[in-house]
Amino acid sequence: MTQFDVYTNPIAKLRESHPYVMVIQSHFLKRPIAVVAIPLARMDEDTSPVTILNPRLDVAGETLLLETLTIGSYEPGDLRDPVANLSHNAAAIWDALDFALHGY
């Protein structure tokens, strides 16, 4: 499991609106008891303009929003077979986390 890996949302009832979660936890942590991740949400007609807090990220041909404030943790066994890695978007992801945690 590598930082910024994207997995199918392990919560089946949320997959329609939030098909994936992205791991933000460092991959240097070995055998963690939990994995910190952020859901990626589908956009609809009512989606508000994107801010630094919610960057748009492309996964499997679909543009999704990083819902930074819905950060959570999952059991490592719930996240299997990554579908993508978004490390090429690291700057936007870290900007969103910095904004959420520090206000800048």
Task: Return phi, psi of residue 71, to 5°.
Answer: -50, 145
Reduced 3-state DSSP string for 1-61: CCCCEEEECCCHHHCCCCCEEEECCCCCCCCCCCEEEEEEEECCCCCCCCCCCCCEEEECC
For 14-51, the pLDDT digits (tens) are: 999 999 999 999 888 777 889 999 999 998 877 766 68
* pTM score, whole prediction: 0.92
- Among 24-28, 55-59, 81-85, 93-97, the minimum mean pLDDT is found in 24-28
Give one word for 35, left, alpha or beta, with left for phi > 0 and alpha for psi -120 to 50: beta
Return the half-sphere exposure (C-beta side, CA atoms, 13 A cut-off) of residue 30: 0
Structural domains in the chain plus CATH codes: 5-102 (2.30.30.110)
Instruction: Supply the pLDDT for residue 1.
Output: 87
- Among 7-16, 50-59, 66-75, 80-89, the minimum mean pLDDT is found in 50-59
Q: Percentage of residues in the chain with pLDDT exceeding 90?
A: 81
